[in-house]
Structure 1
Amino acid sequence: MLDGRINDVRGRTSGASSVWRAPGMPALLGSTALGFAGTALLMPVAPLWVLDGGADELGAGAVNAVMMLCTVIAQLLVGRVLGRLGWRWTLTLGACLLGAPAPAHLLTDDVWAVTALAAVRGLGFGIVTVCGAMGVAVLVEPARRGRAVGAYGLAIAAPQFLLIPIAPWLAERVGYWLVFMLAVVPLLAIPLALPVARALRTSDRPTADPARPGKRRDAAGLRRVLAGPIAALLAITSAGGAVLTFTPRLDPDPTTVYLALLVFTGTSALCRWAFGGFADRRGAAPAIAPLLFVGAAGLAAIGVGTARGPDMAGRVLLIAGMLVVGVAYGGLQNLTLVHAFAAAGEESRSSVGTAWNVGFDAGTGLGALAVGAVATSTSYPVSYAVLAVVTALVGLGWAGSRWRGAKGCRESSG
């Protein structure tokens, strides 16, 4: 009863203020931004480090793939960790695991050692991502969730926009040591854990959804409603994993690589924020299939541009493809999460937050590993062609399910 009154008051009082100023949101967004800053610095640089040390593309792809695998493992365990440690110490643990291993890269460029460091970082990243998504769902009421997810997405995308393009450039022009030392930045999020925990009113207590009227979905029903948005998320984050891992190898010119990553991260940051308002006004589902087709077109352009080689036309296609993929990558991150929350219901928001983050990071790791494997045996253009086809097929599947659902509604109403 008390939880219900708290949420009623929150719903009445927070509607007039910005989601950015909701209690606990500034600290949660700051913590998220610092965590993703450390990840953004190493996502393109750790694979480049092992490539320069003599590894092949498959080994380089394995670095980020293992990080994402450990991220997924951690995400599946976050609920239990929160139950034992509470929000404050769980967030602190995530920041330590994510930031502390970064300087150890200076000791070796051996692919196995760097992969082991990536595994530790992945555990911290899994904690940070699930806590962020769950926290947003609790701190802001459903009527403004699209904008709240947009703000959360901007906290994720802004450090990626600023750091992913510059990190490989800094590594090659200044030195890897600078990137590895800067990547301890998640440790700065430790002081923010306390205000986040206070705002969520679960400090040092197990996390749980408030008791609400209505029936919680069973596991089968939850899997059924989440299958569509998670499939769309897997497709686009596989593309993102490939872009973030291998763009520094697509062109020999560091300036071209910088511009390509800048365009990709900048566009995705803008679209992740912009699609929040769209989702609140129009709903998330109608835009998912079109954005998957947009992503497929962008991936095809990247493949063609890479196949042409480092001439003007090839570089224009590469950068244009990055822009188009960035639109789909940013927009679908927002829309799939908002749609998943809406389809599953408030009682399942913790499960949705975990499932969405698992899908996001599994797709990122799968894209890095798959493109590395295909590029090792064939070429980068073939890898991007495969990604484009898979993304388009998922778009067709989503459009078909929407059409069948609309047809069923018309027939039942008739």
Structure 2
Amino acid sequence: MSTSTEPNQPILRVPGVRALVWMSLFGFAGYALLLPTAPLWATRGGADEGGAGLVNAVLMLATVAFQTTVPWALRRLGWRATLVAGVLLLGLPSLAFLLTDQLGWILVASAVRGAGFAVVTVCGATAIAELVDASRRGRAIGVYGLAVAAPQVFLTPSAAWVAEAVDFRVVFVLGTLPALAVPFALALGRRLDDVAGAPVPDSAVAHPGRGRMLLALALPSLVLLAVTTPGGALLTFAPQLGYGALVAMAGLFGLTVAAALSRWLVGGLAARYGPRRFVPPLLALCAAGLVLCGWSLTDSGPGAAGLIAGMTVVGVSYGSLQNLTLVTAFAAVPDRERSVASAVWNIGFDTGTGLGSLVVGFIAAGTSFTVGLLTTAALCVVVALIALVGGSRRTASV
């Protein structure tokens, strides 16, 4: 049962929400700063492109692996202990980069950070559902999404430039920002532990209908995978698309700003009309943006302006569908299983991000980035049709 009791109370005044927002801002600041910088640091230590690519691959692999354990940790250890461990594991390993630029140690530090990132992502999404009642959950997820996206808007496009133009050490020290979120993690954890009661052994928790619940989460997870795959590809390969650093930065800025604003603004529409009707059109919009991006990389295309516009269009779908799929995931499970829904959603998000980098990179190596992006556009169209058929069947059965 959520802790919000006043239906007209502003989201930021709901007890616990401000602590969640500040924890998310600090946590995702560290993530956003090191996402482009840690691989670059590995190349300074002698790693080739494959080794540099392993840095974020290991980060996301560790994240997905540990996300499956977060619901257990919340039941067994409670919110306070789990949240504090998460922000410390995400933030403190950044200091290890000050000591070495050797790939092996960078990968170890990235794996530890992945464990912390797993906690921050799953707990953050679960917490907003625990704190705010279902009727306003779309708006609340929009506010939470803005807190998650804002650091990426301002820090991801500029972090590598700061590292090279100023000093890598500046970025690595700032990468410890998640550790400064401990007071907010304690405040949020205290609020949620008071609501949830004492931690209970996992053996004491019943899991009725787990198969049906996971099946209900399959469609929103597939939709999320479809949109985060091209999103992850563009975030990874924008500097390699042939138009130089300034165009890449402009495209990334357009994508991340559009994602942040749409993730926030779509919450009100989801609360008023429900999330399902928006999913197929947004997937189609994403496919159109990807086609524009791919066309812009050809000799007959609109050039750099088309690439920036296409990335911005993709950002609208990328942000909106993050909100809508999370609302749908929470609606698909009983209240007691919110942490499971959050874990499944986050696994879909991070798997798509990793697949985008891996699959589009592999296709581009054999053909071109245009073919890679058009492949992800085709994936969006297929999943849009699946969502359209699935939504129609659901409506017919009601």
Answer whether TM exceeds 0.5 for this pair.
Answer: yes
Of residues 229, 250, 267, the one that matches 1:276 is: 267
Residue of structure 2 equivalent to 1:34: 26
**Over residues 319-375 of structure 1, what are the superposed CA-to-partner deviations in whole Å (9 max), with x where a residue is unaligned?**
111101100110000000101111224243222111111111121122222233333
Structure 1 counterpart of 2:225, one-letter code = L
C-alpha distance in 2 between matches for 1:362 and 1:108: 29
C-alpha distance in 1 between matches for 2:395 and 2:8: 35
Residue of structure 1 equivalent to 2:55: 63
Of residues 196, 199, 221, the one that matches 1:206 is: 199
Give the match's secondary structure for 1:14.
Answer: coil
Q: Is 1:386 matched up with 2:371? A: no
C-alpha distance in 2 between matches for 1:206 and 1:39: 29
Q: How does 1:97-136 map to 2 (within 5 A)?
A: 97-136=89-128
| 1:62/1:368 contact within 8 Å kept | no
Report the identity percentage. Answer: 46
- CA deviation after TM superposition for structure 1 residue 220, in Å: 1.7
| C-alpha RMSD of matched pairs (Å) | 2.6
**Over residues 102-153 of structure 1, what are the superposed CA-to-partner deviations in whole Å (9 max), with x where a residue is unaligned?**
2323444444443332211111000111111111111111111111111111
Structure 2 counterpart of 1:317, one-letter code = G
| 1:33/1:159 contact within 8 Å kept | yes
Residue of structure 2 equivalent to 1:401: 390
C-alpha distance in 2 between matches for 1:300 and 1:66: 30
For residues 296 and 176 of structure 1, do their structure 2 counterparts lie closer, same or farther at Cα, with a shift above 3 Å needed? farther
Q: How does 1:62-81 map to 2 (within 5 A)?
A: 62-81=54-73
C-alpha distance in 2 between matches for 1:235 and 1:346: 27
**Over residues 162-215 of structure 1, what are the superposed CA-to-partner deviations in whole Å (9 max), with x where a residue is unaligned?**
11121132233323332222211111101112211221134994279xxxxxx9
- CA deviation after TM superposition for structure 1 residue 14, in Å: 2.3
For residues 318 and 176 of structure 1, do their structure 2 counterparts lie closer, same or farther at Cα, with a shift above 3 Å needed? farther
Q: Is 1:352 matched up with 2:344? A: no
| 1:42/1:183 contact within 8 Å kept | yes
Q: Is 1:289 matched up with 2:263? A: no
| 1:31/1:189 contact within 8 Å kept | yes
Q: Is the deviation greater in 269-278 or in 345-354?
A: 345-354
Residue of structure 2 equivalent to 1:176: 168
**Over residues 384-404 of structure 1, what are the superposed CA-to-partner deviations in whole Å (9 max), with x where a residue is unaligned?**
222222222111211122233
Of residues 317, 324, 328, the one that matches 1:328 is: 317
C-alpha distance in 2 between matches for 1:239 and 1:112: 29
Of residues 136, 161, 186, the one that matches 2:178 is: 186
Of residues 316, 329, 337, the one that matches 1:340 is: 329
Q: How does 1:40-51 map to 2 (within 5 A)?
A: 40-51=32-43
C-alpha distance in 2 between matches for 1:73 and 1:139: 26
Structure 1 counterpart of 2:230, one-letter code = A
C-alpha distance in 1 between matches for 2:170 and 2:149: 22
Residue of structure 2 equivalent to 1:212: none
| 2:157/2:253 contact within 8 Å kept | yes
| 1:67/1:365 contact within 8 Å kept | no
C-alpha distance in 1 between matches for 2:115 and 2:325: 24
| 1:36/1:156 contact within 8 Å kept | yes
- TM-score normalised according to structure 1 size: 0.87
| 1:300/1:385 contact within 8 Å kept | yes
| 1:61/1:371 contact within 8 Å kept | no
| 1:146/1:338 contact within 8 Å kept | yes
C-alpha distance in 1 between matches for 2:248 and 2:36: 11
- CA deviation after TM superposition for structure 1 residue 249, in Å: 2.5
